Copies of this chain bind each other. A is one copy, B any other.
Amino acid sequence: MAEDSTAGQNSADEQWIEELLSISKEEKMTPKQISILQAAIEVFSEKGFSATATSEIAQKAQVAEGTIFRYYKTKKELLLAIVGPTMSRMIAPFVLRNFNGVLDVPFDSYEEFLRAFIVNRLEFARKNFKIIKIVIQEIPFQPALREQFMENVLSKVLERVIAITEHFKEKGQLIDVPTPAIIRFTISSAAGYLLTRLLLQPEKEWNDEEEIDLTIRFILHGIGGSPSK
């Protein structure tokens, strides 16, 4: 329905709703807490974690300074509260289909997988742009974050992606190159598009479908011309 399709195109500012929903399954959040998180996401992504004053978050959240510390013992804990759940959801599409240990690859071709992967992560990145920016900025400086990322995100994603890659290698859809390299090529190319699309030239008019097609074709066949022929 129109409802749904437009919902998919929701403004980036509403990213928190989705986030909150996934949290609300665990614990209820008060409106104050929600606006604290909203404000913190806003200011952290704009100024960086260290350069952000809790007083500014409080002001933007229309909340007393003390209230922030009622919910989150320290400023760092507030950071983790924002970034943790989003990191979990980064891997959702990879683990969802992997439950009960069955290695099932629901794609007929690597191309199909690639397209689903890029489209899906583009959507995710669009919705969680600010939080992702925070994650990337702070991972180098927050050991807790890096550890969580390595253990809960990267390793699980890799595990899954390795399986998929080798699945298609066996099917002959991928050339016989070490799996880590193939994964690196794929992710580099996909991430290159996402970054250009959302960060470097966000205001440019993009034809996503076309660009994704180009990107996939590149991943599969490269950019080398065949003049020899």
Contacts and interface: CB of A to CB of B under 8 A. Distances in A.
A191 interface: yes
Nearest to A52: B50
Interface stretch (A11-19, A24-32, A213-221): A213-221
Contacts of A84: none
Given A191-B188, A193-B184, A174 B50 contact: no
| Interface range for A | 35 or more
A186 to B, nearest CB: 7
A137 to B, nearest CB: 7
A173 B224 contact: yes
Interface string A128-154: 000001000100110000000000000
A154 to B, nearest CB: 9
B188 A225 contact: no
A227 B173 contact: yes
25 contacts: A47-B141, A48-B140, A48-B141, A49-B50, A51-B141, A110-B224, A133-B140, A137-B137, A137-B140, A171-B227, A174-B223, A174-B224, A175-B223, A177-B218, A181-B218, A184-B193, A187-B192, A188-B189, A188-B192, A189-B189, A191-B192, A218-B222, A219-B222, A219-B223, A220-B224
Given A172-B227, A174-B225, A189-B189, 9 more contacts: A48-B48, A48-B140, A50-B50, A173-B224, A184-B193, A184-B196, A188-B193, A221-B224, A222-B222
